[in-house]
């Protein structure tokens, strides 16, 4: 795995093929978040800040257990809290670790215009390269999970790196290491998927969570962060987890057909005026008078 | 002709040499503020538009610098267009002469201008370009501000983020279409047009050929002054 993060699969804003893509098969890495055993202790938040060198941010009290409304450029990992009333009237305290989902088809990367500012490594980690980031914020519009955040002093975008620097050295991400309940797991996508399905089955068969399931949305090609949910039919209850996240159609249109239609239209305009000049030439006031005089 | 004289001279004058003032100094300066700021937004905007055109941001100082200045140059362009609106609005209203002229626009395209009816200070094509840029600028401003502060748009109103992308791209492309034609006509096609927006003056013959109603108006006023 140590070389895995050096193998690049996709590059944002890049004209032409990705150098060296696909020369080696790499394992997909994956984080598994079991929301059914999360106690909302926020040890993962602290570990994330500590490893990445940020300090704790001011909390915003909103009468619930949630410390702040959203992730921030210097706060990549946030427990989303929701008091959820079930159909039978009982109350559930839902906790979800919110961070970059490391989509297999990343909307941020599709929207990014800067060559090399966003890369997807062969192991599936989607990472921002701040030295190439131009701070345009297009990734904000491309992301279906509202994750990329802007640092207004450095004019760069930031988000969870899935601890690519740790993973590159064969370590698990910092949040995984800090979790005291074992609700966070890290490994290959296949292994995590199997573990998640086993846990979901256990919940369905040995508890009253008949709709327990795994969140690995197909609309973005699956994600590098998957959840076990008590109720997979209602992901929105977990702090607004989108039911069927996709790259917004405007972004797909913009970066797909619209680009070629627009480029052809601009080229057509330039060719058009050039042809006009070759066919009809300039309007010259004096010359035309002479021509007219010659004709009569 | 002193500088103060050029500034204070109304645009509808001609002097004994047969040169007619078509654009005042203020109009020319403003046109070039618009031109330079539009060109900067065009180069940097095209860089953000396509990886194959990213080199355009490199020639004006690199991606981060392009991203920083693009909205500010956009504001300068907006201010300039609003000033044009203030000064040229009344000249840009469609007249009966324009409608007649537009029916024969094919003669204009083929340089058979002798078949065209006379028109005022601006032809209908120029007026279309003016209104395209005016409404385009308003839409680019609104969508551009949304893109500038995209994170300030709450997640629940994220459709505004997508709308801003769509509007900014579509309107920018429309203005580029107008811009290509405007630059072609102003430099290569209509000889005398480019010098008029630099030095401000056109010959009487030029005014008679392209804007006869305007020319007659200017000639009347000038003879009235004498």
Q: Is position B146 within any domain?
A: yes
CA–CA min distance A67, chain B (Å):
18
CA–CA min distance A293, chain B (Å):
13
Q: What is the pTM of this model?
A: 0.89
Among B74, B55, B71, residue whose Cα is nearest residue B63: B55
CA pair distance A261, A259, nearest whole angstrom: 6
What's the distance, Cα to Cα, between the start and end of chain B in Å?
Answer: 18
CA–CA min distance A159, chain B (Å):
14
Q: Do B147 and A240 touch (CB under 8 A)?
A: no
Total number of domains in chain B: 1
Q: Where are the domains of chain A?
A: 4-252, 258-295
Q: Measuring CA to CA, how many Å separate B12 from each of A229, B159, B202, B225?
A: 76, 49, 12, 11
- B176 neighbourhood in chain A, CB within 8 Å: 266, 269
- A284 neighbourhood in chain B, CB within 8 Å: 191
- B162 neighbourhood in chain A, CB within 8 Å: 141, 248, 250-251
Q: Is position B197 within any domain?
A: yes
Residue A262: partners with Cβ closer than 8 Å, 6 or more residues away: B49, B169, B173
- B55 neighbourhood in chain A, CB within 8 Å: none
Q: Do B189 and A266 touch (CB under 8 A)?
A: no
- A155 neighbourhood in chain B, CB within 8 Å: 64, 67-68
At A230-281, the pLDDT tens digits run 999 999 999 999 999 999 999 999 999 999 999 999 999 999 999 999 999 9
> Which of the residues B61, B151, B205 would you substitute to probe the A interface, choosing the one with the greatest number of A C-beta atoms within 10 Å?
B151
More confident position, A267 or A168: A267
Q: Is position B15 within any domain?
A: no
Q: Average pLDDT, whole number, for chain B?
A: 92
Q: Is position B7 within any domain?
A: no
Q: Quick one: which H or E segment has residue B62? A: none
| Res A295 pLDDT > 50 | no
CB A112 within 8 A of CB A142: yes
CA pair distance A187, A124, nearest whole angstrom: 12
Query: What CATH number has the domain bearing residue B109?
Result: 1.20.950.20
Among A11, A17, A34, residue whose Cα is nearest residue A199: A34
For the record, the structure tokens of A283 come out as 């309007």
% of residues, chain A, pLDDT over 70: 94
Q: Is position B11 within any domain?
A: no
pLDDT at A18: 83
Give the range of the structural domain holding residue B184, as residue numbers without chain letter.
22-225
- A136 neighbourhood in chain B, CB within 8 Å: 48, 67
Q: Is position B10 within any domain?
A: no
Q: Is position B2 within any domain?
A: no
pLDDT at A2: 43
At B65-82, the pLDDT tens digits run 999 999 999 999 999 999
pLDDT at A26: 73
Residue B220: partners with Cβ closer than 8 Å, 6 or more residues away: none
For the record, the structure tokens of B50 come out as 């396509």
SS3 content of chain B, % helix, strand, coil (to 5): 75, 5, 20
At B82-119, the pLDDT tens digits run 999 999 999 999 999 999 999 999 999 999 999 999 99
Which among B52, B173, B189 has CB closest to A265? B173
How buried is residue B145: exposed, middle or buried, by Cβ count under 10 Å (0-12/13-18/19+)? middle
Maximum alpha-carbon separation in chain A:
103
Q: Is position B17 within any domain?
A: no
More confident position, B38 or B15: B38
> Which of the residues A147, A251, A262 would you substitute to probe the B interface, choosing the one with the greatest number of B C-beta atoms within 10 Å?
A262
Q: Do B176 and A266 touch (CB under 8 A)?
A: yes
Q: In chain B, whose CA is at the least distance from the CA of A115?
A: B51
Tell the CATH topology of A4-252.
Alpha-Beta Plaits (3.30.70)
CA pair distance A200, B127, nearest whole angstrom: 66
pLDDT at B225: 62
ipTM of the predicted structure?
0.88
Rg (CA), chain B: 20
CA pair distance A205, A200, nearest whole angstrom: 9
* pLDDT grade for A6, boundaries at 50, 70 and 90: low
């Amino acid at each position: 795995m140590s070389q895995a993060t050096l193998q690049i699969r996709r590059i944002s804003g890049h004209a032409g093929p990705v150098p060296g893509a696909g020369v080696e098969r790499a394992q997909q890495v994956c984080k598994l978040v079991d929301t059914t055993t999360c106690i909302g202790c926020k040890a993962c938040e602290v570990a994330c800040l500590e490893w990445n060198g940020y300090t704790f941010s001011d909390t915003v009290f909103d009468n619930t257990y949630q410390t702040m409304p959203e992730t921030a450029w210097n706060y990549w990992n946030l427990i989303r809290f929701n008091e959820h009333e079930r159909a039978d009237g009982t109350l559930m305290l839902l906790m979800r670790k919110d961070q970059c989902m490391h989509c297999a088809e990343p909307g941020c990367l599709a929207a990014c215009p800067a060559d090399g500012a966003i890369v997807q490594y062969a192991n599936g980690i989607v990472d921002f390269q701040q030295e190439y980031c131009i701070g345009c914020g297009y990734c904000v519009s491309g992301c279906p999970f509202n994750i990329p955040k802007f640092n207004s002093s450095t004019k760069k975008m930031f988000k969870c790196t899935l601890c690519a620097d740790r993973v590159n050295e064969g370590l698990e991400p910092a949040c995984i290491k800090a979790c005291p309940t074992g609700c966070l797991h890290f490994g290959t996508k296949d292994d995590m998927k199997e573990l998640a399905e086993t846990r979901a089955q256990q919940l369905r068969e040995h508890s009253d969570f008949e709709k327990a399931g795994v969140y690995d949305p197909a609309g973005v090609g699956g994600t590098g962060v998957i959840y076990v949910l008590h109720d997979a039919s209602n992901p929105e209850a977990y702090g607004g987890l989108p039911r069927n996240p996709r790259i917004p159609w405007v972004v797909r249109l913009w970066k797909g057909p619209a680009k070629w239609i627009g480029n052809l239209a601009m080229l057509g305009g330039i060719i058009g005026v050039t042809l006009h000049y070759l066919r009809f030439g300039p309007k010259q006031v004096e010359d035309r008078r002479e021509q007219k005089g010659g004709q009569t | 002709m002193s500088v103060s004289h050029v500034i204070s001279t109304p645009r509808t004058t001609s002097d004994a040499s047969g040169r007619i003032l078509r654009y005042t100094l203020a109009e020319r300066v403003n046109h070039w503020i618009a031109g330079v700021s539009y060109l900067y937004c065009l180069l940097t905007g095209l860089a953000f538009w396509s990886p194959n055109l990213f080199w355009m941001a490199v020639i004006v100082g690199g991606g981060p610098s392009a991203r920083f200045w693009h909205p500010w140059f956009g504001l300068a362009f907006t201010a300039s267009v609003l000033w044009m609106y203030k000064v040229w609005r009344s000249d840009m209203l469609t007249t009966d002469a324009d409608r007649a002229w537009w029916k024969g626009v094919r003669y204009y395209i083929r340089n058979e201008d002798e078949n065209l009816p006379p028109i005022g200070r601006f032809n209908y094509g120029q007026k279309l370009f003016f209104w395209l840029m005016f409404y385009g600028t308003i839409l680019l401003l609104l969508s551009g501000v949304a893109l500038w502060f995209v994170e300030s748009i709450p997640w629940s109103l994220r459709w505004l983020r997508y709308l801003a992308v769509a509007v900014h791209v579509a309107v920018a492309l429309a203005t580029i279409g107008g811009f290509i034609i405007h630059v072609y006509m102003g430099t290569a096609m209509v000889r005398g047009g480019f010098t008029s927006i630099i030095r401000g003056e056109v010959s009487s013959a030029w005014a008679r050929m392209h804007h006869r109603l305007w020319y007659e108006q200017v000639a009347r006023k000038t003879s009235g002054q004498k």
